[in-house]
Amino acid sequence: MSILVLGGAGYIGSHAVYQLVDQNFRVVVIDNLQTGHREAVHPKANFYEGDIRDRVFMRSVFERETIDGILHFAANSLVGESMTEPLKYFDNNVYGTQIVLEMMKEFGVKHIVFSSTAAVYGEQMVMPITEAADKNPTNTYGETKLTMEKMMSWCEKAFDLKYVSLRYFNVAGARGDGQIGEDHNPETHLIPVVLEAALGKRPAVTVFGEDYDTEDGTCVRDYIHVEDLIAAHLLALKYLQNGGGSNVFNLGSNQGFSVKEIIETAKQVTGIEFSVVMGERRSGDPSTLIASSEKAKHVLGWNPSRTSIREIIRDAWNWHQHHPNGYQK
């Protein structure tokens, strides 16, 4: 069975490739290396460097390879950047997905597992958030992912395609053996930023807003270990292969941690006291996002096993300590 991983050199995609190889799938990777790293691609994967928006390139890969299913991680995914460069997000995320769907139609590939986001929900009053909640993105990134979900749904009606869309909450951690991990340039995500401060790579962590309507005034997020997240993708693939219909699932851990709580836990895990400064709110940030993942547990049989925030931060720390410059030697 041959699986195509789009964005397989990125943080989340590379973890998917490793788990697919562990489970003896044949893996084909496409990545333009805009944010991904060649070193993150598993040596057993068949790697093609190129852009999902490039129809000629995409067709050449689909002609050469027999693809039984697709995991689609290739997208820009920074909330802050999406607010200042919205068209970059529509181009890479929405137009890129259009080409992927065209290829699926042309080459008769039926199954796609798609990386969506909690950002499709925007600001919600009721926690935890179920899949049935209203979708009102507060940032361009979430809007593009919601659009991509809708594209797949319309394509399903028009031709024979089945998709599973997985709405991630905040993904963190790294593979337990420390071989691959998170390496963005610039890094903007809270846990790696905090760990870079612990390593002395940045002078301080800035807390983006202390005046939110939460217990300690800082934003609350639901953190999920990247390995648990990927386990759900493999279950979603199996679900489609077993004849499951198109579906949407939240992936989170059903527990919320504030920015200040993450900082405190990181200080305990690393044993390092680093500087923290209070800053302004970041544009586009909802105050609280906590998932209900009951549906994924029930329908996919998903059983996340690394739900402790200490373990998530510890695995991330293991990667950062041993790769202080990421994939750069």
**The two structure tokens encoding residue 301:** 């049989």
Given candidates 45, 58, 109, 119, which one binds ligand UFG under the rule CB under 6 A? Answer: 119
Euclidean distance between CA atoms 72 and 285, whole angstroms: 25
Q: Give whichever of 59 and 135 is closer to ligand UFG, judged by the CB atom.
A: 135
Euclidean distance between CA atoms 98 and 206, whole angstroms: 37
The DSSP-derived string for 61-72 is: HHHHS--SEEEE
**The two structure tokens encoding residue 104:** 């699926």
Q: Give whichever of 7 and 69 is closer to ligand UFG, judged by the CB atom.
A: 7
**Which of the stretches 16-24, 41-49, 183-191, 225-233 binds ligand UFG when contact is defined by CB under 6 A?**
183-191
Q: Which residue reads 């800035």 in tokens?
A: 206
Q: Least Å distance between CB 16 and ligand UFG? A: 16
Contact flags string 282-301 toward ligand UFG, x per CB under 6 A: x--x---x------------
Given candidates 14, 97, 170, 250, which one binds ligand UFG under the rule CB under 6 A? Answer: 170
Q: How many residues bind ligand UFG (CB under 6 A)?
A: 22
Q: Give whichever of 74 and 207 is closer to ligand UFG, judged by the CB atom.
A: 207
Active site residue 18: no
Euclidean distance between CA atoms 235 and 185, whole angstroms: 31
Q: Least Å distance between CB 82 and ligand UFG? A: 9
Interacting residues of 273 by C-beta distance below 8 A, sequence separation 6+: 267
Given candidates 77, 97, 265, 318, which one binds ligand UFG under the rule CB under 6 A? Answer: 77
Long-range contacts of 27-31 (CB under 8 A, 24+ apart): 27/2, 27/3, 28/2, 28/3, 28/4, 28/61, 28/65, 28/67, 29/4, 29/5, 30/4, 30/5, 30/6, 30/58, 30/61, 30/74, 31/6, 31/7, 31/74
Given candidates 206, 214, 241, 255, which one binds ligand UFG under the rule CB under 6 A? Answer: 206
Q: Least Å distance between CB 42 and ligand UFG? A: 23
> Which contiguous run of DSSP H or E holds residue 302?
none
Contact between 117 and ligand UFG per CB under 6 A? yes
Q: Which of 11, 48, 121, 141 is catalytic?
A: 141
- Hey, which residues are catalytic here? 141
